[in-house]
Chains A and B, each alone.
Chain A
Amino acid sequence: MTARPGSDGGPRWASFAQRCDDALLDPFLRHKLRHAMDLAVAGRLRRVSEEPRWEDMRDHAHAIRWHVVGALHTYLEQFIERAEARGAHVHWADDAEQARRQVLAIAREHECRRVLKSKSMVTEEIGLRHALESAGMVVKETDLGELIVQWAGEAPSHLTGPAAHKSRGDIGRLIAEQLGVPFTDDPRALTGLVRDHLRGDFLTADLGISGANFLIAETGSVTIVENEGNARLVTGLAPVHVVVAGIERILPRLADLEVFLQLLAGSNAGQKLTAYTSVITGHRREHEVGGPEHVHVVLVDNGRSRMLADPIMRPALMCIRCAACLNVCPVYRRVGGHAYGWCYPGPIGQVLGADMWSEQEGYDLAFGSTLCGACAEACPVRIDLPTVLLRLRQRAAEAEAPGGAAERRRFRLWAFAMRHPRIYRMLPNWLLRLGMRVAPEIPRRVAPGWVATRDLPEPAPQTFAQRWRSTGGFSHD
């Protein structure tokens, strides 16, 4: 079983709708998220507007990722061969449990006790930190946002900005408490405190764990992008480096990085490139100074080969985890990452999660979307996320899953009304107005959830169709 919030003795798994309701009751959350997301989106749009080849790059990236996903076995085989030829040990994990066990075995084999991590969503997906900690190891996150949520005992709430849900005050109090220093909420001072605090850890760690943004089949290399420099230190100083990567994160050629690095950095928050891009190929060569003696790559399937076989889900494997779809999503921007109930939030998290948790939870996650299309418009590899969500809803309806049954009832009613225009025309007009006068408690009965936090307005005196007729349709010509 894959770890997810609540499965480690936390609160019980509530429904997506329930978690959204809870999140919406927090007025500060929305404010903090809007501020952060607006900045990220503005950055991306600025970058897009100054880059004349942006749309070409997206088309190209889509073509490459679609090709790679369709020939995944070929490229994985090539990657494994070349990485092993350069001295890396490549492991294969069918599921989260296997992946955790493999990393643990590697740590034990090299007698590692002090473990540092750089940011990696797949290690969140497999619940790696808890597994290592329960085995008695000291594990510390080194990305500032990740360390903040680790200290807070929370999960990251955004793919690239794990502490997006926290204010500087929240973070200041947390750091003051953790490090025993006077309170400050100045981001510069706080960053400096954490920098000083982690310096000793970097110099003494005996195992560094990172994720991988791209695996390069041609060279057997692992590519890691970051801004803080923590991944440089995690992967470069400890004697053992373990890379945990999803099997889909492959690019065919080293030269493909030019487009993908720019798309990733630009789509995330408008950078041309992130401050550091590391291309790591095997362990330290004999003639080189420094670098780990042992490099292990753990390739994680955990449901991906199943998605590959599923024509609806396969496009989701093209994702490069840039977070652009979260930043623009009107749902994510209000409910934040924790409402999604597992490590991948936002539109891509809904798609992956609806598939992953369908047996336990139905297709709940696929329904929390307006299908407005903002995510598809932003996605650098042009994944048509709304269509995937729609197809998953269809699947839910066909499978009689809980969310699906309600949806089907609603649409049956809708279809009936659409087939009977007279009835449809009557509904919003006098019948509704009359109904609301005589029995104002009806909406509360029919849709208690909806009216609990909203007023149901009285319908306008004229319907759109009536106004259309009375103004003569397109009256401007």
Chain B
Amino acid sequence: MTEAAAAGLKRIREALQSSEMPELPPVLSLAPEETPSPQAMVQRFRSEFEALGGRFFWEPGSETATDRLSKLLRDGELRRVACFDVPWLTSLVRGAGVEPFEKDLSVCDVCITTAHMLVAEQGLIVMAASPWGPRAASSLSPVHIVVAQFAQLVWGLGDALARIGEVIEDGEMPSDIVFIAGPSRTADIEKTLVIPAHGPRELCVVLIGEAGPPAEAGAGEEPA
């Protein structure tokens, strides 16, 4: 700690001297009383994410997910594909007929990543800095496709924060975690909603599996 900081803290301690300090309340739990069923979780994620302007696809397994990806790339005429993420994902994307991967995010048509987590209650995508992809993976490309396994879906923001908390206890906190609620937007001109602002114009989530990662997806890194 710098000397200036220590002096500043001392001043604050003095400013607070004569006042009694109220207790820190425990974290307020906003979790529902009953854990929602897998179906309810996916339904909630879909409705929230679509309301934010995202496109959602639910695929039973890796094979149909690969088909979905090829269709998305074909329909959107997305040729230069960036993909930096975990091995199970890259093999899935290769299966969709993409090779080689574009390395420069500023010129690609689409960036395909997985997510750290998905949050059903608010339709969030959670991404964390990792060895596999740069921070800008979720910001620079015109289209961002997130492929996630069912095990990555949690109910509420509180659950997501608690999971991150477990990571901290294990040691390192990633340098960057981002919670994404739909494509970037602005309302700075007469409060008119415009999508996109600086992020992707299109955000898609392909969710694989129903009650846990399908067997064939377990080959590579453990997601999340």
Q: Which residue of A lies closest to B184 (CB)?
A: A229
Please state if B191 and A306 are interface contacts (CB–CB under 8 Å). no
Digitize B193-221: 1 where CB-to-A-CB distance is under 8 Å, 0 elsewhere.
01011110000000000000000000000
Known: A233-B198, A285-B129. A299 touches B8 (CB 8 A): yes
B136 within 8 A of A: yes
Which listed residue (A142, A187, A271) contacts B192, Cβ 8 A?
A187
Taking CB atoms and an 8 Å cut-off, the chain B residues in 107-139 that contact chain A are 122, 124, 129-136, 138-139
User: Residues of A within 8 Å of B, CB-based: how many?
Assistant: 99
Please state if A274 and B177 are interface contacts (CB–CB under 8 Å). no
Q: Which residue of B lies closest to A142 (CB)?
A: B198
Please state if B162 and A64 are interface contacts (CB–CB under 8 Å). no
Which listed residue (B157, B175, B183, B192) contacts A288, Cβ 8 A?
B175
B79 within 8 A of A: no
**Min CB–CB distance B114 → chain A (angstroms):** 14
Please state if B27 and A256 are interface contacts (CB–CB under 8 Å). yes
Which residues from chain B contact A331 at a C-beta distance below 8 Å?
none
Please state if A35 and B190 are interface contacts (CB–CB under 8 Å). yes
CB-CB nearest 7 A-B residue pairs: A290-B134, A229-B199, A228-B197, A229-B184, A309-B15, A236-B135, A145-B188
Please state if B184 and A187 are interface contacts (CB–CB under 8 Å). no
Q: Which residue of A lies closest to B156 (CB)?
A: A258
Which residues from chain A contact B16 at a C-beta distance below 8 Å?
70-73, 308-309
Q: Which residue of B lies closest to A87 (CB)?
A: B175
B92 within 8 A of A: no
Please state if B1 and A80 are interface contacts (CB–CB under 8 Å). yes
Which listed residue (B25, B140, B191, B198) contacts A63, Cβ 8 A?
B25
Which listed residue (A187, A198, A280) contacts B189, Cβ 8 A?
A187
Please state if B139 and A163 are interface contacts (CB–CB under 8 Å). no
A15 within 8 A of B: no
Which listed residue (A35, A143, A305) contacts B11, Cβ 8 A?
A305
A239 within 8 A of B: no
B23 within 8 A of A: yes
A276 within 8 A of B: yes
Which residues from chain A contact B139 at a C-beta distance below 8 Å?
229, 232-233, 236
C-alpha gap A84/B5 in the complex (Å): 12
- What's the dominant secondary structure at chain B's contact region? loop
**Min CB–CB distance A214 → chain B (angstroms):** 12
**Min CB–CB distance A89 → chain B (angstroms):** 9
Please state if B5 and A91 are interface contacts (CB–CB under 8 Å). yes
Known: A228-B184, A281-B173. A290 touches B136 (CB 8 A): yes
Please state if B9 and A258 are interface contacts (CB–CB under 8 Å). no
Q: Which residue of A lies closest to B6 (CB)?
A: A92
Which residues from chain A contact B13 at a C-beta distance below 8 Å?
73
Which residues from chain B contact A195 at a C-beta distance below 8 Å?
196-198
Can you list 21 A-B pairs, Cβ within 8 angstroms, ordered by A? A36-B190, A86-B173, A90-B1, A98-B4, A143-B188, A144-B186, A167-B190, A199-B106, A203-B106, A227-B197, A229-B197, A232-B199, A233-B140, A237-B136, A256-B27, A262-B157, A276-B199, A278-B177, A279-B176, A289-B132, A308-B16
Please state if B161 and A273 are interface contacts (CB–CB under 8 Å). no
C-alpha gap A139/B7 in the complex (Å): 31
C-alpha gap A1/B133 in the complex (Å): 44
Please state if B165 and A254 are interface contacts (CB–CB under 8 Å). yes
Please state if A81 and B1 are interface contacts (CB–CB under 8 Å). yes
Which listed residue (B4, B161, B181) contacts A275, Cβ 8 A?
B181
Please state if B185 and A275 are interface contacts (CB–CB under 8 Å). yes
Q: Which residue of B lies closest to A192 (CB)?
A: B194
Which residues from chain A contact B176 at a C-beta distance below 8 Å?
236, 278-281, 288, 291
Known: A230-B198, A275-B181, A290-B134. A284 touches B175 (CB 8 A): yes
Known: A291-B176, A309-B15. 16 other contacts (CB 8 A): A36-B191, A60-B25, A60-B28, A70-B16, A73-B13, A94-B4, A221-B173, A233-B140, A258-B27, A274-B181, A275-B181, A276-B181, A277-B179, A287-B131, A305-B8, A309-B14
Known: A273-B124, A281-B175, A285-B172. A305 touches B187 (CB 8 A): no
Known: A71-B21, A91-B2, A306-B15. A161 touches B188 (CB 8 A): yes
Known: A233-B198, A279-B176. A305 touches B129 (CB 8 A): no
**Contact count band on B:** 35 or more
C-alpha gap A271/B173 in the complex (Å): 28
Taking CB atoms and an 8 Å cut-off, the chain A residues in 322-352 that contact chain B are none
Please state if A90 and B2 are interface contacts (CB–CB under 8 Å). yes
Q: Which residue of A lies closest to B9 (CB)?
A: A73
Please state if A70 and B185 are interface contacts (CB–CB under 8 Å). no
Which residues from chain B contact A36 at a C-beta distance below 8 Å?
190-191
C-alpha gap A253/B161 in the complex (Å): 10
A398 within 8 A of B: no
**Min CB–CB distance B186 → chain A (angstroms):** 5
Q: Which residue of B lies closest to A200 (CB)?
A: B106
Known: A80-B5, A261-B157, A269-B187. A232 touches B138 (CB 8 A): yes
Known: A229-B199, A255-B162, A301-B8. A281 touches B22 (CB 8 A): no
Q: Which residue of B lies closest to A225 (CB)?
A: B179
Known: A258-B161, A277-B179. A227 touches B184 (CB 8 A): yes
Which listed residue (A73, A84, A228) contacts B198, Cβ 8 A?
A228
Which residues from chain B contact A167 at a C-beta distance below 8 Å?
190
C-alpha gap A76/B2 in the complex (Å): 13
Which residues from chain A contact B124 at a C-beta distance below 8 Å?
273
> Quick one: which of B19, B48, B124, B135 has the most chain A CB within 10 A?
B135
> Quick one: which of B130, B182, B188, B191 has the most chain A CB within 10 A?
B188
Please state if A279 and B178 are interface contacts (CB–CB under 8 Å). yes
Please state if B189 and A168 are interface contacts (CB–CB under 8 Å). yes
Which residues from chain A contact B23 at a C-beta distance below 8 Å?
67
Which listed residue (A91, A198, A262, A288) contacts B4, Cβ 8 A?
A91
Please state if A282 and B175 are interface contacts (CB–CB under 8 Å). yes
C-alpha gap A472/B187 in the complex (Å): 55
Please state if A255 and B168 are interface contacts (CB–CB under 8 Å). no
B86 within 8 A of A: no
